[in-house]
Amino acid sequence: MKRRKKICLSAFALLLIVAVAGGVIWWKLQIHWGPTFGATSPEEWVEAAVAHANAFKPKPWSKRPKVFSWTHATTGADCFELWLEGSGLVTFQDGNWAYIVTHSFHQDETHWIGDICVARDSQGGLWRCDAHSCSCICLQPESREGFRDLDEFLEKPVDDKKWERLTLPNKELNPTNEPAAGGSI
């Protein structure tokens, strides 16, 4: 009888370990951090993110944000949010788009790169926002259909931080610091 009890306790312990390990793996897979590019400083990360964004070509299957909607409890207004994890494509109603790459300060506490979002629009314009991007950023368009255009996108703060035009000293990444030809989906 003691042997049977010991086997049952061992089986239970093993099952518990497997369940906990499975839960940890599942939880880790739920957080979709943006790329780190092996950067060791915010400036290095921004340059790598710009190079990554410049190489992006939109496709019909490109990753897009998740859409959430609800009715505001006090005002009764319809509210909409687009949650983008890591990096992805935000399309506008006018046919233009922005590709966003994010970095959260949680994902690399060795180099203290911080919270940074870099966006490249379909005209080649580069934008930076230092909003908190803890596994995702939350974008808030006026309607469920998303942002009307780039102007509406840029007007809406992310976590109370505004998008600002990004100019780089590295001429290879942005030769004129002006918008360049982008492309369409």
Query: Is there a single domain that holds both residue 13 and residue 71?
Result: no
Query: Is there a single domain that holds both residue 17 and residue 89?
Result: no
**Weakest-pLDDT range from 27-31, 93-97, 98-102, 140-144:** 27-31
Return the top range by mean pLDDT from 67-71, 141-145, 160-164.
160-164
**Does 171 map to a domain?**
no
Query: Is there a single domain that holds both residue 22 and residue 47?
Result: no
β-pair type (164-165, 126-129): antiparallel
Query: Is there a single domain that holds both residue 57 and residue 129?
Result: yes
Residues spanned by the domain of 89: 33-165
Query: Is there a single domain that holds both residue 142 and residue 82?
Result: yes
**pLDDT tens, 74-104?**
877 777 788 888 889 999 999 999 999 988 8
Query: Is there a single domain that holds both residue 45 and residue 135?
Result: yes
The predicted structure's pLDDT at residue 53 = 92
The predicted structure's pLDDT at residue 72 = 74
Could you tell me which of 29, 18, 127, 47 has the C-alpha nearest to residue 86?
A: 29
**Does 101 map to a domain?**
yes
Query: Is there a single domain that holds both residue 15 and residue 106?
Result: no
Give the integer Cα–Cα distance in Å for 153 and 157.
Answer: 8
**pLDDT tens, 152-167?**
999 988 888 999 999 8
Give me the helices (H) in 31-166, please: 42-55, 150-155
The predicted structure's pLDDT at residue 122 = 94
The answer to pTM > 0.85 is: no
